[in-house]
Chain A
């Protein structure tokens, strides 16, 4: 403590030089203070309103018109009425649910199974990188690989024939379920890693002591996983599945490149339907009506599902 006494004397001499505080204390403006957080967040919000509110309003407006090149003819609710009785629209909606639902369910099960086996494995770092790779390829390029494999190059048929499951060639675009399964397999290959990565991270970051306690209690690993680990990471699963679910229902790239909706519109998703109505048949008003319907569904889903998933996920 002798050191302290020595230096203390010197330090005492310094204050007047160290503090130029003779000017009056600065008062803060409370109006600016209150506005400040809004000012910080405003640019982002305005920017986002630009791509949501403006286009949303525009789509609603346009959905009441028949658009022919530069000519806009008001048609009232005709577009919606037509949409309601348009079997192609309902088909697209159904396709989206079927293809998306099956793919999402499979991805969940596979990702969870892989995560269960991988997260305690010594080679976890290897598995993570390897399983992740498909996700890192450009989706449009991946779609082409599958196009070549399923259709143009007939590789899948050839492989199936070699192991004796079929003879002749399968026409993957000619059969409803074969065409749908190409979309499902393509999605599975590329996006199962998304769920896998999140599940593994959640399993690894859970409280180890709980698992250890269960082990000391004599539970087997599957039992621990099912009864202890899985319930603990449920909020995480919810967030991951919701995010994946949203992306899957907006599926476009694979449809555009792989099937173009064939055969007979059985692989056309809602996104592709809107695109086709707008940019291939140039029926913009009609496409906008479909977009508005999809927007309403999105808003409902966001309010009901996403909000809850994210609230609990943060815990």
Chain B
């Protein structure tokens, strides 16, 4: 129901710049995730959309209207907070009713809307309780119901799941995505958890130090990272990044030799994901190292190798067993090796048209 645009938005706090020159276009009904480490400006960006912070420069546009001067209360956005932000002195029913009351929605209509919203998050039986009497997951669902009840133009979610335990988090994730698809309300979601970002987003915006590093679908972000920051941030365990030298189509680093496009040379960082490596017993291999650690997760086994000064992680077979210190050889998937300029971190592409950008 609403498209959101940020045009040239800057946010400064005194001499510190929280967000620098940001342009962002969020389509109607899109689920957009702002992802980045803490302090990267993602929450500030969301708060500017909400109207809780004013941009120092630039324009925030919601539904075609510049809303810089419009107070948060009049923007028709609903927000879900990390700490739930339920009003402690009100029952859950009263909490969900609050935004309706503030918007002057007739008493006769309120009850049906509240019950419907509570049903959507399966909280129908808890309406009389105070927030203090609910569990973390229930509280978060109450906060969702409060956001959903008035059918806003925009949903804003600020790390809504990070106070929940891991199991609850994944079930809430599904629920949030389902709700968003069902209500088809433009949603901006802030998180530092890349799994959340990958699973929820239509598009992900990766930010660092107030700057957008890459915008793309989860698949693009994963398989076509724009720089070492994105490459290292996405994926668990993250992509291996090894600094070395490239010359005449050969990349070399201590314990590592790999083929690289002939037009790449100089100080280069090679990147390869643990899942794109293979342990080999003989034959040619890119990397040789000694076993440093073995971590079976049940589903698979992660193997950490030491080559020279660096640690290198590899996804091995589920039943793979290694002795500490044993020599191991690793082969890379040639289609899935990335090269970056060590100096700038920027991705170097031999054949620009190859990947799905």
Direct contact of A and B (CB under 8 A): yes
Partner-B contacts on A (CB < 8 A): 1, 3-5, 7-8, 10-12, 14-15, 17-21, 25-28, 30
- The docked-state distance in angstroms from the alpha carbon of A4 to that of B122 is 8
Cβ of B116 < 8 Å from any Cβ of A? yes
Please state if A11 and B120 are interface contacts (CB–CB under 8 Å): yes
Q: Hey, which bits of chain B sit against chain A, CB under 8 A?
A: 1, 65, 67, 69-71, 74-76, 100, 103-105, 109, 113, 116-117, 119-120, 122, 148, 150-152, 174-175, 178-179, 182-183
14 sample A-B contacts, Cβ–Cβ < 8 Å, listed by A number: A1-B175, A4-B178, A4-B182, A7-B119, A8-B183, A11-B182, A14-B116, A14-B151, A20-B105, A25-B70, A25-B74, A25-B75, A27-B70, A28-B69
Given contacts A14-B113, A21-B76, contact A5 B182 (CB under 8 A): yes
Across the interface, do A26 and B150 meet the contact criterion of CB distance under 8 Å?
no
Q: Give A14 to B1 CA distance when docked, in angstroms.
A: 14
Task: Give A6 Cβ to nearest chain B Cβ, in Å.
Answer: 9
- Expressed in whole angstroms, the Cα–Cα distance for A201 and B104 within the complex equals 46
Cα(A7)–Cα(B122), bound, Å: 11
Residue pair A18, B105 in contact (C-beta under 8 Å): yes
Q: What's the minimum C-beta distance from B265 to chain A, rounded to whole angstroms?
A: 54
Q: Tell me, in angstroms, the Cα distance from A304 to B113 when the chains sit together.
A: 58
Query: Do most interface residues of chain A lie in helix, strand or loop, or is the interface mixed?
Result: helix
Q: A1-B178, A3-B119, A8-B182 are in contact. Are A15 and B151 (CB under 8 A)?
A: yes
Say how far A257's CB is from chain B's closest CB, in angstroms: 46
Measured CB to CB, the closest approach of chain B to A141, in angstroms, equals 39
Residues in A with CB closer than 8 Å to B174 are 1
Since A11-B117, A18-B100, A20-B105 are in contact, a sample of 14 more A-B pairs with Cβ atoms closer than 8 Å, ordered by chain A residue number, is A3-B119, A3-B122, A4-B178, A8-B183, A12-B182, A14-B151, A18-B109, A18-B150, A19-B152, A20-B103, A21-B76, A26-B74, A28-B69, A28-B70
Residue of B71, B116, B151 contacting most chain A CB atoms (<10 Å): B151
CB distance from A28 to the nearest CB of B (A): 5
Residues of B within 8 A of A15 (CB): 1, 151
CA distance in complex: A68, B152 (Å)? 74
B183 to chain A, nearest CB (A): 7
- Chain B residues within 8 Å of A30, by CB: 69
The one of A11, A18, A21, A26 that contacts B71, using a Cβ cutoff of 8 Å: A26
- Write the chain A residue with the least CB distance to B179: A4
Name, among B74, B75, B179, the residue most crowded by chain A CB atoms within 10 Å (CB to CB).
B74
B109 touches A7 (CB 8 A): no
CB distance from A193 to the nearest CB of B (A): 33
